[in-house]
Structure 1
Amino acid sequence: MINKVDILLMLLWALVGCEPAPSTHGFAGLGSDATGFAQVEPDAEIGYPEALNQHPDFRIEWWYVTANLESESGETLGIQWTLFRQANSPSPQREGWANQQLWLGHVGLTRANQHFSADRYARGGVGQAGVAMDPFTAWIDHWAIQADDQAREFTLTAHTPEFSYDLVLAKVGPPVLQGNQGVSVKSPQGQASYYLSLPFLQVSGSIQIGDETLSVTGEAWLDREWSSQPLAEDQEGWDWFSLHLDQGDKLMLFRLRHRQSQDYFSGTYISADGTAHPLQPNQIRMQPLRQHSVAGRRLPVEWQLSVDDFGIDLRTQALNPNAWMATGIAYWEGPIRFEGSHSGKGYLEMTGY
């Protein structure tokens, strides 16, 4: 999932109410030099639940939840909850207001005829946002995700003037390491991140939209990703899918778009028992089918996705083509459904358009 922003730069622009200038160092500056920060190493061991903790020696990381939900009346909805941490200088960590960590939270809620989004900003070192373990808790102000002692069940909360949700996420399958044992390569030059997913989460809880309260159930996907330079300089954005196949398998795919060279593809096919099958770029085909205008942009809201080696040939459709996250860092994010060789539901994120 993903979003994955240079929060320092974007925070400054958002706080003064301006649109950020285009970056020459990858989307949102994520391809800029990372001298002094920790680097992704190919032989690192990534464990769970330890991976839920923050990694302040790296420049950027995120805790990212999407959920495909259904109300008691059969209405389809989706929610997003994301917390980002960005360091504006390497360790050692400074205390109080001098701390170099900046935090950003995004939440969204989508139904067929409505889309809501909100964001929050915080400075590290003063308790307004952060991550703690034993048990795991990640928060920014009153938006939070918290696990039980064994990180088998999570509570997820977000409250805004327009909408809110209070959900329980039960882990019913194993964590999955994306890429090569958790090292997810993002370009032919080797830029990479550490990437762990919890794609097997069952959801129950309630959503509030204005005066309307909905009881919901469904499936969720939690991503943990951290890096110091996850993109190449000429990568201008990405298209990312997380898919729940009706047979119980999962599929993650992404395309990183280059300005002057071929796009870079990656993904993982995840069997229903949690076995991960990393996909090579040449195994993946992602073809935009239909464009839609939203917020002054043209974006592909229908796609053909194919992975021949696993019998995958899908056509996706957005629940709401207007699922634009009108936050300080703007992008498209919303629930999708698909049919073809398999059917099911999932989420799509598109940045850099």
Structure 2
Amino acid sequence: MLLAAPLTGLAQGFAGLGSRAEGFALPSPDRVLQFPADHGAHPAFRIEWWYLTANMTGPDGTPYGLQWTLFRSALAPEDGQGWGAPQLWMGHAAVTTPTAHHVTERLARGGIGQAGVTAAPFAAWIDDWSLTGPDFDHLRLTASGPDFAYDVNLQARGPLVLHGQNGYSVKSAQGQASHYYSQPAFALSGTLRLAEGEVKVTGSAWLDREWSSQPLAQDQTGWDWFSLSFDSGDKLMGFVLRGADDYTSATWIGADGTVTSFKDGAFEARPLTWHNVAGRSVPVGWQVRLPIRGVDVTLRAVNPDAWMATSVPYWEGPVTLTGSHDGVGYLEMTGYGE
């Protein structure tokens, strides 16, 4: 499968993301992100994604999770038209309930209108799945699979957040990096369609934007990524890149709008409980700490079986938070073997 080809090959980092990328553009700490242009695609870079997760509740208080991701991967550092265009696209959509995890995948070629992204007005699509709006603050999200569908509206309730050094996010001691920003404060409302019927949901969503050409070091085999929304209104993004020496980074997003980035070593994540899913042992309970901000929380998966059985498999699902701060969040874990 052509689309999967650049995303497979685990010999050099998870999904080949640690492999060399000759000819492709590299992130620069001197680059100033520009909006709305940077909401669109960056075909000179090898890898890119538009990644939305949401914590929601139904009328009876049942918790739900939602994911929508559009990945772009390039065979060559250029754009193009028609079947010869080197841009390949993959979409993932999922809904998680306390007792079920629904997931589906779409694959597409660029250049023929099957998938793509435009910056203004914003539109990201693959087949009939779409994330669209007059701007990045007001969006409608739709997707469907064999056993689920959703149609939700998103309204931004805060500014964009630039991670790392003004959006330049370092991923290893060797200097691999990406350009990375988020809209972590969408208010969400809409409808889930499940086998048992329609469910009206409300909640909050977090959208990540990231692009690079070699975001991992060769010895890094996967990551644990956390987006946490506390009842206090504060938020925390943190990740651990697993390798010979783990590498961490974090961003504190205060309820007052202040943003503080933390370099390697400040953020801590320790597995507490493990669960067997899809023939793999995966940590679904965690202790997460950011001591400088007094954060010491325990994360528990809403559904430990939230396995993404896609071309590149991984775990992705909603979590609850207790401890120094209560709240909800999302957890993504990649690179866990058999």
Report the count of equivalent residues: 335
Q: Give the CA deviation at 1:94.
A: 3.0
Contact 1:40–1:192 (Cα < 8 Å) also in 2: yes
In the TM superposition, what whole-angstrom CA distance separates every residue of 1:54-95 from its partner, at most 9, and x where no partner exists?
Answer: 10111110000000000011110000000000001122x332
Q: Which amino acid aligns with 1:195?
A: Y
**Which of 195, 199, 206 is matched with 1:210 structurally?**
195
Contact 1:252–1:268 (Cα < 8 Å) also in 2: yes
In the TM superposition, what whole-angstrom CA distance separates every residue of 1:297-331 from its partner, at most 9, and x where no partner exists?
Answer: 00110000111110100000000000001112111
Which residue does the alignment assign to 1:24? 11
Which residue does the alignment assign to 1:158? 143
Which residue does the alignment assign to 2:66? 79
Which residue does the alignment assign to 1:295? 278
Contact 1:203–1:220 (Cα < 8 Å) also in 2: yes
- Asked if 1:144 corresponds to 2:130, the answer is yes
Unaligned runs of at least 5 residues, structure 2 = none
RMSD of the TM alignment (CA)?
Answer: 1.3
Secondary structure at 2:208's aligned position in 1?
strand
Q: Which amino acid aligns with 1:145?
A: L
% identical aligned pairs: 51
Which residue does the alignment assign to 2:242? 257
Which residue does the alignment assign to 1:63? 50
Secondary structure at 1:179's aligned position in 2?
coil
Contact 1:10–1:329 (Cα < 8 Å) also in 2: no
Which residue does the alignment assign to 2:31? 44
Secondary structure at 1:316's aligned position in 2?
strand
In the TM superposition, what whole-angstrom CA distance separates every residue of 1:187-232 from its partner, at most 9, and x where no partner exists?
Answer: 0000000001000110000000025100000010000000011010
Q: Give the CA deviation at 1:159.
A: 1.4
Residue 24 to residue 161, structure 1, CA distance change in 2 (3 Å): closer
Contact 1:7–1:85 (Cα < 8 Å) also in 2: no
Query: How many angstroms apart in 1 are the aligned matches of 2:234 and 2:215?
Result: 27
Q: Give the CA deviation at 1:133.
A: 2.8
Scaled by the length of structure 1, the TM-score of the pair is: 0.93
Q: Which amino acid aligns with 2:27?
A: V
Which residue does the alignment assign to 2:219? 234
Unaligned runs of at least 5 residues, structure 1 = 1-5, 12-19
Secondary structure at 2:38's aligned position in 1?
helix
Q: Which amino acid aligns with 2:121?
A: P
Query: How many angstroms apart in 2 are the aligned matches of 1:227 and 1:146?
Result: 23
**Which of 189, 204, 212 is matched with 2:174 structurally?**
189
Query: How many angstroms apart in 1 are the aligned matches of 2:179 and 2:35?
Result: 13
Query: How many angstroms apart in 2 are the aligned matches of 1:162 and 1:344?
Result: 29
Which residue does the alignment assign to 1:273? 256
Q: Give the CA deviation at 1:10.
A: 5.9
Contact 1:176–1:274 (Cα < 8 Å) also in 2: no
Query: How many angstroms apart in 1 are the aligned matches of 2:147 and 2:103?
Result: 9
* Structure 1 residue ranges, 4+ long, deviating more than 3 angstroms after superposition: none
Secondary structure at 1:69's aligned position in 2?
strand
Query: How many angstroms apart in 1 are the aligned matches of 2:83 and 2:159?
Result: 38
Q: Give the CA deviation at 1:134.
A: 2.4
Q: Give the CA deviation at 1:283.
A: 1.2
- Asked if 1:95 corresponds to 2:95, the answer is no
**Which of 291, 305, 311 is matched with 1:328 structurally?**
311
Q: Give the CA deviation at 1:132.
A: 1.4
Which residue does the alignment assign to 1:3? none
